[in-house]
Amino acid sequence: MSITVVGSVAYDSIETPAGRRERCLGGAATYFALAASFFTDVRVIAVVGEDFGPEQEAVFKARDIDTRGIEHAPGKCFLWEGSYLDNINEAKTHLTELNVFACFEPKIPAAYADSDFLFLANIDPVLQRRVREAMPKVKLVAGDTMNYWIKDHRPALLEVLRGLDVLLINDTEARMLAENSNLVKAARAVMAMGPRHLVIKHGEYGATLFQGAGKGTGKGKESENTFRAPALPLEEVIDPTGAGDSFAGGFFGYLASQAEQTADDFRHAMFYGSVMGSFACERFGTERLQELTRGEIDERFGVFRELTHLA
């Protein structure tokens, strides 16, 4: 089944301890779409500028990603400049130029209307809501957000959360959104805002899936509907940009590839998310995702399984 994703397609200038790259193709929708494309059909809604040409288009085409929803506008693409010199796990933003993104009005091609899955990448919650409302028939809606929207656009964000089935955020965002430092209590509070499934990402420590009550396994309160997936201990993180979006792409792409979305599918999806996040870090920008094969993904899935497997 196909996924429509709305989000940024952008350029990133990135500096990490491993080096520096100017104007890599990036953006949440780009990473998400590339990662998800290994599992299912993906359709992108975004806006780009005149500096997005055939070379960039080819990155999507090589993965059979539908780009009919990528609007070409006068001006330049969204640009982000950041570094990870002090802490490889935390980006320091040096510059953000919204450019064509400043006036983004998502337009949904008619051909996207039969999508069963919708991913609202991290953009203005007002836009997320508009896309959500324009696609009322989707089966499962997932979304992402960030500290900026949580802090300064809370009412609009809360509207979006009410319409989400799955929210994927990191620890800091979960604690900030719930205004509670305990992760279990924070998870419960966030799920009360709408999403029945909550994925909290812990960076190099993996991610936890929390799921709403009513599906008791009889295994005790603490574990009920809770699942922890590891991250791969990586010897070298070249560039963590897009790791979270790649996680989301692997996670949601795998779910969309399954006939139903069972509890077991969600667990596997957590692993596939971790797998795609780990690949994203191995090279600058989308380099690693562009040359990846499904065989490598399945091999690494086995590595992850082994990493937590108890005989």
Residue in 83, 232, 287, 290 binding a copy of itself, rule: CB under 8 A: 232
What minimum distance in Å lies between the beta carbon of 55 and a copy of itself?
Answer: 32
**Under 8 Å between Cβ of 147 and 172:** yes
304: contact with a copy of itself by CB under 8 A? yes
- 295 interacts with a copy of itself by CB under 8 A: no
What x-and-dash track marks residues 73-112 binding a copy of itself by CB under 8 A?
---------------x------------------------
How far is the C-alpha of 11 from the C-alpha of 76, rounded, in Å?
Answer: 10
Cα 265 to Cα 66, 101, 146, 232, 251, distances in angstroms: 25, 35, 26, 20, 10
Three-state SS at 40: coil
Nearest residue (CB) to a copy of itself, 4 versus 208: 208
Shortest Å, Cβ 114 to a copy of itself: 31
Binding track, positions 256-275, relative to a copy of itself; x by CB under 8 A: --------x--xx--x----
Please provide residue 262's backbone torsions phi and psi, each rounded to the nearest 5 degrees.
Answer: -80, 170
What tokens were used for 129? 């809501």
Spatial separation of the C-alpha atoms in residues 211 and 115, rounded to whole Å: 24
Q: Which stretch binds a copy of itself (CB under 8 A): 1-9, 48-56, 70-78, 220-228?
A: 220-228
Question: In whole angstroms, how close is the CB of 2 to a copy of itself at the nearest point?
Answer: 26
Secondary structure of residue 42 in the 3-state scheme? strand
CB 104 within 8 A of CB 75: no
Site mask for a copy of itself (CB under 8 A), range 190-209, x = bound:
------------x-xxx-x-
